[in-house]
Amino acid sequence: MSDLHSDLIGHLQARGFIHQSTDLEGLRSHLRDGPRTFYLGFDATADSLHVGHLQGLMLMRWLQKAGHRPILLIGGATTRIGDPSFRDESRPVLDEAQIQANIAGITRTFGRYLRLGEGEGLVVDNAQWLDGIGYLQFLDQVGRYFSINRLLTFDSVRQRLDREHSLSFLEFGYTLLQAHDFTELARQHDCTLQLGGADQWANIINGVELARRRDQRQLFGLTMPLLTNSDGKKMGKSLNGAVWLDERRLPSFDFWQFWRNCDDRDLPRFLALFTELSLERIAELTREGGAALNQAKALLADEVTALAHGAEAAKAAREAASGVYGDGSSAGLTTIAVARSTLQVLSLAEVLVQAGLQTSRGAARRLAEGGGLRLDGEVVLSVDADLPPGQHQWRLSLGKKRHYHLLIE
């Protein structure tokens, strides 16, 4: 494995973090020559980060381990606009109270992955400088250095226009705001590297170019590959919606299960990106199939959950998962509560429909006929029969990947 300090870029490449760079060899030397400050931006569009952000957090974690200083830039100002990159319509406009609540939510996550505080990582809000800048001042300091002709050539803009979808002047100006953010962080904190997803390439280039043309200063940009699963779908969704990093939005058990149930083809890549296991160890874990691969998936789930929620939460989630297949309790499972008064009959088919877990009684029957329904580990043969009397809670399994604590109130 590449040494983290002598060849950081090589280490990051080997683990799959690097997609593009404005000057990869220059950046390699830049990082080797001394501690540097780098940043990654987060718009406050929700009160929790999700697994789509995890790649960036892990990249920042490796850079900090190598001695570099992270800045987590919160888009308190730019969230009001929304990045239009590769989107067909404008983001919903959030009010200031929503934005502040979202900022409070996502900043709770940062400390799980990075050391923050005096002499360590910083959390900065771009509202600090964007709220106070006047329009004419912004045009003078930033706008004069950009050509509309060139901005129209960027894929994120051109695709929106080619599809004849509206692109407001407000959104069109987003890339200038991000460029200004980069140069402002360079001025205030000597930040010389911006990280971003592959869809941020144009925005990052504009910041590098603004610094070169206006400030005669060299800055660097580095993007990560688009995070997709083996089927080519953008990662971040489960059967039940977004895979949030905040336990208040997604219980630890469901988070653990998301990783435990990953596709075999994704496992080596996910272990390299989302854990700190050595590449040699990852190769050993994924060399064989069958039971060995399932053990490696459980280890992936343990490692990722421990980072996101803590070691105790990861242990509890694994024990809960063992309970799903054995005689354990339902601790850690997502609770599905159904009011008895809403049930026409006290059958599992009726419960599944009322809970929104199946679209119809017929769908529940088909699932049972295929052996995909279990209560407390026992296969359910008839979903139309009455639920066992004298009991009001069970471990409910739908197939191999969905498990709940079912409660009849």
Per-residue pLDDT of the chain (409 residues; tens, 9 = 90+): 447 878 999 999 999 999 999 999 999 999 999 899 999 999 888 899 999 999 999 999 999 999 999 999 999 888 877 655 544 445 567 788 988 899 988 998 999 999 999 889 999 999 999 999 999 999 999 999 988 888 787 776 777 677 766 666 766 788 899 999 999 999 999 999 999 999 899 899 999 999 999 999 999 999 999 988 777 777 765 545 688 999 888 888 889 989 998 889 999 999 999 999 999 999 999 998 778 898 999 999 999 999 999 999 999 888 877 765 444 455 556 787 887 777 777 788 888 888 888 888 888 888 888 777 887 767 787 878 777 766 777 778 887 667 787 887 7
Instruction: Report whether 52 contacts 62 (CB < 8 A).
Output: no
Sign of CA dihedral 141, 74, 64, 283: negative
d(CA 312, CA 321): 14
Say which CATH superfamily domain 334-408 falls into: RNA-binding S4 domain (3.10.290.10)
d(CA 170, CA 90): 10
Instruction: Note the pLDDT of residue 323.
Output: 63
Listed as own residue / partner, the contacts of 397-402 with beta carbons closer than 8 Å and 24 or more positions apart are 397/324, 397/373, 398/352, 398/357, 398/367, 398/372, 398/373, 399/367, 399/372, 400/261, 401/239, 401/257, 401/261, 402/239, 402/240, 402/357
Q: SS3 breakdown of the chain: % helix, strand, coil, rounded to 5?
A: 50, 15, 35
Amino acid code (one letter) for 184 = E
Q: Which residues of 222-244 are buried (b: 16+ CB within 10 A; e: fewer)?
A: bbbeebebeeeeebbebeeeebb
Domain 251-325 has CATH 1.10.240.10: yes
Instruction: Report whether 249 contacts 48 (CB < 8 A).
Output: yes
Closest CA to 203 of 45, 106, 80, 78: 78
The size of the chain, in residues, is: 409
Instruction: Note the pLDDT of residue 88.
Output: 45
The domain locations on the chain are: 8-224, 251-325, 334-408
Instruction: Note the pLDDT of residue 86.
Output: 43
Q: What is the CATH number assigned to the segment(s) 8-224?
A: 3.40.50.620
pTM summary value: 0.79
Give backbone dihedrals phi and psi of 337, rounded to 5 degrees, phi first.
-105, 130
| Helix or strand run (H / E) with residue 140 | helix 135-141
